[in-house]
Amino acid sequence: MSLIRAYIRLNRNPGILLIPILIDALALIGGLSSVSFYGEPASPFKIIFETGLPSLSHILEHPVLINTFKFIAYHPEYPPLTWAFVLAFILFQSFLQGGYINRLYSMAGGDSDTSFSGQCLKYWLRFFLLSFILLFFQMSVVTLLVFMLHYIGMFIALSIFIVLRVIYIYFEFSLVVHNASFGQALRISGRYFKDRTRETYVSVAAFFILGGVLSYVVHAFWSIYAILLFIFIYGYLMTGVQLALMTSLVNIRRER
């Protein structure tokens, strides 16, 4: 099974796990230095939409990690220095995206002759701009549909995001693997999904289900100790899913 093979390969090459774990650990320190830990145990089931470099912040209801725009939205009263700190973390995360995805590509059997640092320098601006584009797109769609249709609009917006994420599941990967622009990556990732295999279905299902289950569990045991533990658990499990997705991309390329 593709997912099991991905974890076997990850266990043999665990160095890539340092990237998401390090970022989340630093983001947690930054978050706690700005706002004390807060929130109560709950039971949300959050759906993640971000591929590429995983972060526990993607599934948290309360933004206690500072590497997300949600931190600013929840704490608008903080001074501009805190806003700059958030942007610095997002920039740092964007910087590592290219290297992380390229490393996944190499582990999946793809040909890559560029160093990790070279990929980081090559793609940081694209991923930094992408974070703003996605934020604006999500806010615009949700605001418009909720204004027009209220609660039904929220459901429709969520459905739109899920469908687009599935169809363009390889978008971030395509940016790096093909050195593509945003428009080119949309077309390329769409073609990859059109040529999808059974591996693709398994990996996409794992992507959504695993993210939702981990979100539910971390909120059910909500505490600083749960966050610390799940930084490692989430980084490991979601990197395995990302590797399975990348492996399916490599296999589709070979079969063409």
Which pLDDT score is estimated for 126?
A: 95
Of 46, 14, 17, 4, residue with least CA distance to 202: 4
Which pLDDT score is estimated for 115?
A: 84
Mean pLDDT of the chain, nearest integer:
90
Residue 47 DSSP SS3: coil
Which pLDDT score is estimated for 42?
A: 75
Which pLDDT score is estimated for 104?
A: 95
Which pLDDT score is estimated for 256?
A: 66
Which pLDDT score is estimated for 1?
A: 67
What is the spatial distance between Cα 207 and Cα 217, in angstroms, rounded to a whole number? Answer: 16
pTM of the model: 0.92
Which pLDDT score is estimated for 113?
A: 66
Q: What is the pLDDT of residues 23-72, one digit of tens each?
A: 999 999 988 888 878 878 777 778 888 888 999 999 998 888 998 888 88
More confident residue, 199 or 103: 103
Candidate from 90-94, 103-107, 235-239, 250-254 with smallest mean pLDDT: 250-254
What is the spatial distance between Cα 205 and Cα 67, in angstroms, rounded to a whole number? Answer: 26
Which pLDDT score is estimated for 62?
A: 85
Which pLDDT score is estimated for 105?
A: 95
Q: Is the pLDDT of residue 81 over 90?
A: no
Q: Is the pLDDT of residue 82 over 90?
A: no
Q: What is the DSSP letter of 76?
A: T
